[in-house]
Amino acid sequence: MRKIIIYTLLCLSFTYQQTNAINTSKRESDSPINRTERMAWWTHDRFGLFIHWGLYAMPARHEWVKRREKMSDEHYNRYKDYFNPDLYNPKEWARIAKAAGIKYMVFTTKHHDGFCMWDSKYTDYKITNTPYKKDILKPLVNAFRNEGIRIGFYYSLLDWHHPDFTIDRNHPQMPQNPQTLKELNKNRDMAKYREYMKNQLTELLTEFGQIDELFMDYTYAEGENGKTSKDWDAEGIIKLVRKLQPQIIINNRLGLSSNSQGWDYITPEQFMPQQWPTINNQRVPWETCQTFSGSWGYNRDESNWKSVHQLIVMLAETVSKGGNLLLNVGPTARGVFDERAIERLNGLAHWMRFHGNAIYGCTVAPTEYSCPNNCILTYNPTTKRLYIHVLEWPFKSLYLKRYKGKIKYAQLLNDHSELKFRTETKKGSHTTENTGVDDVIITLPVERPNVEVPVIELILE
Ligand code: GLC
């Protein structure tokens, strides 16, 4: 019985969210399993962990280091010859992620450098040919699954190692003089590379069980010497992927338009959209991917790390605009999360333990609820609860404009302690302010609750 009620509530919640999101019949017919069903878990879960891990953890100065420093294959291969993450223990990663409230993870199976973190039979350029010798991916997938975390794969469309991938403006071997490109590319055959990608995607989507999200990266069509969706045979890839994993959800970086079957969600990267992003005036599902400090791969010397407070605000703000947060960690070449990342994730864990209800299953609040100063609102349409994330703790009173008659009960989320509220109808005196007759004043303790961002839970009428 309990299961049936929870299922019904989930469906109702998702139906509500979809009335806010793009929902044309065209998109509904995208795949054998309809889109609403496919995305229900994702829209509910809201919080994922991106993991960027590969050879670039060794130079430890950005995952684009091969391109940035224009390294030859031979030079970059030193990392392959020495890569040996002796402390790699995916169970530990999964435990940390689970505690932080993470519900799904997306792992870089192959990044732009072309190096594969699984034992692919289509290349020698892979983890089993390093001093480490063992596969990384299967133990990772198993460990996260065992913690109840869903699995996503990142796969780079760019490949700076494959001999058939044509040199272009993003490639480490891009010459000074673009005129010489033709000559350089004359023996490279993108048709073979397309085949290679399809073979690898087939491996990834058949040998690791159910894969919930696929993050393809990326199409750079603008200007000269880029690549378009045709270079990848993006449509062919989509067809293959949907055939192998009909329930999977796919990001929008294959370069296909919004009306085709080309994607399920968009991916604003390293910025906070001002509001729920739209395409043709329709709200679309979105997931913002964000780093702790700027680079995606482990970067030893980067110093602009976001604080725990900033990360919590980022998560709440994303959900308040109807989106998901994919927060990235770049493990070290020894195979551990470095202490700065662990400190952030532990901070998130502490907050999420008490405030997960203000994130999971939540979305943008209906417009009838005004947002008080220095606050963020999230709303759970299933439970009809409104969450006020209070970024700056005010003195004694929180004024809620036009909330009269809308609130049944109010409490702090971290300890479920009651918060009294009243509607001021009388004129102010020397101890009370003159307030609007439709407003509600919540009485707050003078001392801010000892949590990074306190949240007030309103049970609505
Ligand atoms: C960009 C970068 C890449 C990173 C990705 C994450 O496309 O090229 O390094 O993996 O964003 O979204």
Fill in the DSSP letter of residue 461: -
The closest residue, in CA terms, to atom 10 on ligand 1 is 296
Q: Which of 112, 227, 296, 325 gets mutated to test ligand 1 (max ligand atoms within 8 A of its CB)?
A: 296
The residues of the chain that CATH labels 3.20.20.80 are 32-358
- Give the model's pLDDT for residue 75: 98
Answering whether pTM is above 0.85, one says yes
The preferred substitution site among 217, 252, 270, 326 for testing ligand 1, maximizing ligand atoms within 8 Å of CB, is 217
Check if the beta carbon of residue 332 is closer than 8 Å to that of residue 298: yes
Q: Decide: 87 and 336 in contact? Cβ < 8 Å.
A: yes
Alpha-carbon distance of 26 to 279, in angstroms, equals 14
Please report the pLDDT score of residue 34 as a whole number. Answer: 83
Ligand 1 mean position, distance from CA 163 (Å) = 22
Mention every residue, 6+ apart, whose C-beta is less than 8 A from residue 147.
94, 95, 97, 98
The CATH architecture annotation of domain 32-358 reads Alpha-Beta Barrel (3.20)
Give yes or no for residue 12 having a pLDDT over 80: no
How many C-beta neighbours within 10 Å does residue 416 have? Answer: 9
Contacts of 184 (CB under 8 A, 6+ apart): 167, 173, 175
pLDDT digits (tens, 9 = 90+) for 414-458: 999 999 999 876 666 787 777 778 999 999 999 999 999 999 999
Q: pLDDT per residue over 288-332, tens digit each? A: 999 999 999 999 999 999 999 999 999 999 999 999 999 999 999
Q: Is the CB of 289 under 6 A from ligand 1?
A: yes
Q: Whose CA is nearest to atom 4 of ligand 1?
A: 296
pLDDT in tens, 383-424: 999 999 999 999 999 999 999 999 999 999 999 999 999 987
Residue 27 scores a pLDDT above 80: no
Sequence letter at residue 321 = K
Of ligand 1's listed atoms, the one at least distance from the Cα of 218 is 7
From ligand 1's centre to the CA of 31, what distance in Å?
A: 27
Q: Which atom of ligand 1 is nearest to the CA of 328?
A: 6
Q: How far is the CA of 297 from the centre of ligand 1 (A)?
A: 10
pLDDT above 50 (res 243): yes
Binned at pLDDT 50, 70 and 90, residue 260 comes out as: low
Q: At what angle do helices 90-99 and 137-146 cross, to 10 degrees?
A: 40
Element containing residue 361 per DSSP (H, E): none
Q: What is residue 336's three-state secondary structure?
A: coil
Per 3-state DSSP, what percentage of the chain is helix, strand, and coil (rounded to 5)? 30, 20, 50
pLDDT in tens, 129-170: 999 999 999 999 999 999 999 999 999 999 999 999 999 999
pLDDT in tens, 228-237: 999 999 999 9
Q: State in Å: Cα 217 to ligand 1 middle.
A: 7
**Would you say 326 and 269 are in contact if contact means Cβ atoms under 8 Å apart?**
no
Q: What is the pLDDT of residues 334-375, one digit of tens each?
A: 999 999 999 999 999 999 999 999 999 999 999 999 999 999
> Is 317 close to ligand 1, i.e. is its CB under 6 Å away?
no
Residue 14 in this model has a pLDDT that exceeds 60: no
20 pLDDT above the threshold of 60: no
pLDDT for 24: 37
Query: In this predicted model, what pLDDT tens digit does every residue of 344-354 receive, in sequence order?
Result: 999 999 999 99
- In short, whether 287's Cβ falls inside 6 Å of ligand 1 is no
CA distance 173 to 134: 30
Instruction: Tell the residue nearest (CA) to atom 3 of ligand 1.
Output: 296
Q: 375-460: what CATH class?
A: mainly beta
Please state, in angstroms and rounded to a whole number, the distance separating the CA atoms of residues 347 and 360.
18
Question: Which atom of ligand 1 lies closest to the CA of 217?
Answer: 7
The reply to whether ligand 1 has any atom less than 6 angstroms from the CB of 264 is: no
The answer to whether 237 and 217 are in contact (CB under 8 A) is no
Ligand 1 centre distance from Cα of residue 242 (Å): 23
CATH 2.60.40.1180 intervals, the chain: 375-460
- For the sheet containing 407-412, what is the strand order? 375-380, 385-390, 455-460, 407-412
- Residues contacting 420, CB < 8 A, separation 6+: 410, 442, 443
How many angstroms separate the Cα of 252 from the Cα of each of 28, 154, 260, 265? 16, 12, 11, 6
265 CA → ligand 1 middle, Å: 16
Confidence check: pLDDT of 265 > 80: yes
From the centroid of its chain, how far is CA 230?
A: 26
Output the pLDDT for position 430. 82
Answer whether 389's CB lies under 8 Å from 377's CB: yes
93 neighbors 143 (Cβ within 8 angstroms):
yes
Strands 213-217 and 150-156: parallel
| Cα–Cα distance for residue pair 370/75, rounded to 1 Å | 58
